[in-house]
Structure 1
Amino acid sequence: MTVVAGSIKGAGGEAAYHLTEVSERSSLEDLVKFAISKYGKVDSLVNNAGLMLFSDWKDVAVDDWDKMIDTNIRGYLHAIAAALPGMIAQGHGKILNMSSVAGLHVGGSSGVYSATKFFIRGITESLRKELGVEHGIQVSMISPGVIDTGWADKVNNSKGKKAAQELNKIAITPEQVADAVAYALDQPNNLTINDIVIHPTKQDW
């Protein structure tokens, strides 16, 4: 994180970081407190923590399932719970949930991961209908395809690792996804980007 913040500052931007464990609600609360102490308020929340671990159902990889649920579901809910009260109080805010094309199409050996992304699609639509209409808070979602973030190296299952490494050969860059994030967030208060799907040209799902 120090390197990332340093590169942003070196390019003339402003950056600060606070180490956070998204599976722990108190850690997200501390992050929001840090942001408010640093900048006075929270205008935008980007839920981006994610974990994709391949396995077949017959593997009964419960430990991997729990890790994905803790990060991909609880992490998002904890962040929303921490940031939302302040956004409602100030009368505006932007929540951007990073989902995945796996939330549109279920691939092989990724049932639980896809389920977590379908969950994100569900809560995003619910948030948009309630918070947008009642409080003017813009809620958006971006569903990327395969991104080269080093995730393939974290897969424990041998079959899953091989599948992940093959997928990663056609991956798009994090910078390409960041362009979509900037576009979604850089909208006037009366316009909400509901969903952007972005994936490698050679990805067939």
Structure 2
Amino acid sequence: MPITPTPPRPLVLASSSRYRLELLQRLQLPLTVAVPAVDETPQPGEAPRALALRLALAKARAVAQQQPQAVVIGSDQVADLQGSSLGKPGEHARAVAQLQRMRGQEVVFHTAVAVVCLDSGFEQLDLAAVRVRFRDLQDAEIERYLRAEQPYDCAGSAKSEGLGIALLESIDSDDPTALIGLPLIRTCRMLRAAGLVLP
């Protein structure tokens, strides 16, 4: 009697980020999206790197609790300016203030990714750190950029895949999609380890 192959586990992105969804769709895997109910408030004294790791894992675990058979991806990005966390500005004035603080500075964007499957007991967590050097930006440049891109849902107001690239002097990373919001090299490695077949 022939053995029926086990169907692949469903893949779920635990994120409301359209940037992460667009990146993950590059892998041409069937997937769904579920928005996790996770409080993203930093804990007192929490370092930017630790915040990104904690939130990525919390998002993946929250959705995995609801869909234990699925392979769930959670991710979070925190911009780190000399140990200070910069999140999504949410509105124009905060974005201006963030970019004014970052001009001429090196900022580390910590992008964490977690992959969790409760049924199989699989859980992995990793982080890509991207070092970004900002130009010594003029206030008029900041205003033109923000009016054009409105990157208020991007950590540190930095939308590097768009006009934000003109704000930068250099980018140093071993996982080039990490700055956009999801380190795909690490994500692919973790999905293979979880049993998914990728090209």
**TM-score, length basis structure 1:** 0.28
Bigger strand share: 2
Bigger helix share: 1
**TM-score, length basis structure 2:** 0.28
